[in-house]
Amino acid sequence: MLGIVDYGMGNLFSVSKALERLGADSFISDDPKELSKATGIILPGVGSFRDAMSLLEKQGLDEFLKRYAAGGGYVLGICLGMQLLFDESEENGPAQGLSLIPGNVVRFQGMDASGHVYKVPHMGWNRLEFKHSSPVTAGLEADHVYFVHSYYVNTDEAYIAASATYAGEVPAIVAKGNVFGMQFHPEKSGQMGMSLLRNYLSLVEGKEKA
């Protein structure tokens, strides 16, 4: 059973509908006690890092997510939800994240190393390039997924399961043990996105059967 974290800044409907299409049992909640019963968590997010962390802290969801992950529970962050998994973001001044994966979140500069100007936010379809093996990418061939973001993660190569190219390499899928993140929107990324969610669901279902 997947628990979708409702803290006021997530695209809950599209995520829950995608899981429904996969035949997954899920529920939406802002209650840590209820979410603790889930065998897998999805942390969606759209908007400001600082505002999102403030809402998570207000509802005690930040400490819940840390305990849940430390206890071996599967966590998947989507878009802003992925960024929240890291240590810090420079958006609207330094703001502390959940520190489930080492790294920080920085803004696209609007110009690459060669002086080429590019649009911010990064919006549209980009091809994934798999970097390291991960349960969420197992058995899949690289394809395009849909991004909408102005900030990206700066983290160690060891945690980057897949990247995309936009004025340089952009971490697209991250993984550290039982914690995963997708910078793009898998629920809006066609068959590739559904396949990635299906792989995450398989992990959760495996834990349910164990």
Mean pLDDT by 10 residues, the chain (210 residues): 92 92 95 96 95 96 98 97 97 93 94 84 96 94 95 97 93 98 96 97 77
Give pLDDT, residue 92. 85
pLDDT by residue (tens digit) across 28-87? 999 999 999 999 999 999 999 999 999 999 999 999 999 999 999 999 999 999 999 999
Give pLDDT, residue 186. 96
The structural domains of the chain, with segments of one domain joined by +, span 2-209
Catalytic, 116? Answer no
Superfamily of domain 2-209: Class I glutamine amidotransferase (GATase) domain (3.40.50.880)
Token digits of residue 72: 């071996």
Catalytic, 187? Answer yes
Choice among 20, 91, 187, 208 that is catalytic: 187
Choice among 91, 122, 149, 185 that is catalytic: 185
pTM of the model: 0.95
**Residue whose structure tokens are 């992925």:** 82
Choice among 79, 91, 122, 149 that is catalytic: 79
Q: What is the DSSP string of 72-137?
A: T-EEEEETHHHHTTSSEE-TTS-EE---SSS-EEEE--SB-TTS-B--SSEEEEEE-EE-S--TTT
Catalytic, 208? Answer no
